[in-house]
Amino acid sequence: MRFLQKCAFLLALLVLASPIFAEEQATEETVPPVKKYVAFTLGGTYTDTKTVNTFGTSSTKTLRGLFQKLDTLKTDDEIAGIVFKIENVSMGWATLQEIRNKLHEFRETEKETLGYLENGGNAEYLLAAAMERVVLMPAGSLNLTGLRAEVLFYKGLLDKLDIEADMLAMGKYKSGVEPYMRDGMSDAFRESMTALLDDLYAQLLVHIAESRDGITAAEVSDLINSGPFTAEEAHQAQLVDALQYYDELLETLKTASPDEDVQVVKPDYERKRKVPDMNSFAGLMQLLSMLNPPQRAKSTAENQIALIYADGPILPDIDQLFPSTSVIMPSTLKEAFEKARTDDTVRAVVLRIDSPGGSALASDLIWREVLLTQREKPVVVSMGDVAASGGYYIAMAAGTIVAHPSTLTGSIGVFGGKLNMRGFYNKIGLTKEIIAHGQNATLYSDYGGFTPTERERVEKMMKTVYKDFVSKAAEGRNKSFDEIDEIAQGRVWTGKQAKALGLVDELGGLETALSIAKAQAGFADDEEVNLIVLPKQKPFFEQLMERMIEDMEGSVQLPLELTASHPALSVFGNRWQHVVTWLSLFGFEDGTQVVTILPYDVLIR
């Protein structure tokens, strides 16, 4: 009897509980699956290295940092798609190509990619077109107007100031002296620049045609000739897929998947830090901690590749407060290469160059370090936006050179000279009396041009440097002197043209160079490799202490080239950087008289 009562009780309990279980099961079944999109902002400037400031490295966006973030998104299985908001892009064409190549990797995944533009020019559209769909704001515009190259000439200004540029050049196309001695381009200069722009424009047409189904390169050219476009015109021309405000785009994503819980989120790494309380000591310490993040422990792994950055103009070693990251000097690169060369755990070296060149002597010192390292272990060069003149010089000794199709490279040539400031001095009421012993004693004086014998000596020096430049290029490229001399002459080439001429080996970016270095070092494809970055960037205070210890009796002076990074001068942009570099090479009594540099800024928009 008692057994029957227990059974009845359990049966009643089961009957009462069944609706609850059924309701919970029904509730679970009605919860829609989550479909997650990530909103990723892509814009501004991406550099190779962070800028050193007073307390540490700044928040400058780096190319490797961007790629690490994109790799994280690409391999995150919880993400169904990425909405790229593209705005205010400011970078060179080679950097654009490198980012486009990275974005193309998303096509190999099942992730949906959308490019959103409020407004867009050539650069913004090139990135957006790499996505599966391009969405433009209804009130926006698409400024596809083609490419132009601008070169600024200074002769008119120098004439007004009574300053004479007394300069010589080696190489038919070595047009470095023209901005200071002419009002416009020579025929050779125009020929070189036109050929350069022709190739870059052809690459632009191909990039757009490849990205937009049903549009050929010839049709893209016709469309560009009709630009710029209103939003509606861009849509009708099939350059964009939809006209929507950003909130409308997000709503479209949700309505397209009514059975799923569509969420648009920020990347996990974009977590806002709490602003320190600057009114307290603890807040100040927190700020210093944020500006000086703890250094990562040095890797003790055996499998390492050294990544050495050479970014900026190449200048001689100058006594200075601390090395600027935007200047390349032999002492800094020598230290980096010696470490990579003597460290047995480093199996290969990748040299990343983004430089228009500079001092011929400094370039040769760096070339020597590359050569010595190449004899010990593989050295692979990765060229950024520009690796021309001295920038190509320091690459020549590497075993393999990698460039983007749009990298500006070559410019194997030499020029030199000085500024004759006599007219300017007299204009402002200054005069000089010079007493000289020696036929060429006034060679470096800024109070007169070259005498006939001085000009003869400078020209001979330049011919020697040019011959040495061509000879070393021929040796590094396994070609004859005449073969290199024919394509040298100071002419600038795109990376695509340079590969056809044998000046570079492969087309690609930094990741391509790292992959080649890994293979040449004997690593297997699936073998894990550690990357060490050189030269090490140091905060201001650390560098100041090192300087004080090294030279306690010396006076601390701020050299000319460091003023280029002063915030007050940022409004002048790259032109101020160029002027500072030029003065560093020619503006001193013992200034370098023979240089290998691309002295004008080629602005392609």
- Residue ranges of E strands in 147-260: 149-150, 164-170, 229-230, 242-243
Q: Which two tokens stand for residue 284?
A: 């100040």
Q: What's the burial of 260, exposed, middle or buried (CB within 10 Å: 0-12/13-18/19+)?
A: middle
More confident residue, 101 or 577: 101
- Mean pLDDT of the region 424-448: 90
State the average pLDDT for the chain: 82
Residue 14: the pLDDT is: 54
Closest Cα partner for 127 from 196, 40, 61, 202?
A: 40
- Residue ranges of E strands in 319-469: 346-355, 357-359, 379-388, 400-403, 408-410, 414-420
- Mean pLDDT of the region 537-559: 45
More confident residue, 432 or 543: 432
Please write the tens of the pLDDT for every residue from 140-175: 999 999 898 888 898 999 999 999 998 888 888 888
Considering 84-98, 163-177, 233-247, 314-328, the range whose residues carry the highest mean pLDDT is 233-247
Residue 516: the pLDDT is: 96
Q: Residue 594: beta bridge partners?
A: 416
Residue 62: the pLDDT is: 87
Instruction: List active site positions.
Output: 389
Instruction: Please give the Cα distance from 80 to 64 (Å, whole number).
Output: 24
- Mean pLDDT of the region 304-318: 90
Phi–psi pair at 141, nearest 5 degrees: -145, 160
Share of the chain above pLDDT 70, in %: 76
pLDDT tier, 269 (very low <50, low <70, confident <90, very high otherwise): low
Instruction: Please give the Cα distance from 420 to 588 (Å, whole number).
Output: 12
CB 145 within 8 A of CB 113: no
State whether residue 53 is helix, strand or coil: coil
Closest Cα partner for 43 from 3, 82, 99?
A: 99
Q: Which domains occur in the chain, in start order? A: 34-145+227-265 (3.90.226.10), 303-432+439-604 (3.90.226.10)
Q: Is the pLDDT of residue 559 over 50?
A: no
Share of the chain above pLDDT 90, in %: 52
Q: Is the pLDDT of residue 557 over 70?
A: no
pLDDT tier, 603 (very low <50, low <70, confident <90, very high otherwise): low
Q: Is the pLDDT of residue 573 over 50?
A: no
Residue 564: the pLDDT is: 40
CB 84 within 8 A of CB 249: no
∠ CA(365), CA(597), CA(582), 5° rounding? Answer: 100
Residue 326: the pLDDT is: 75
Q: Is the pLDDT of residue 225 over 70?
A: yes
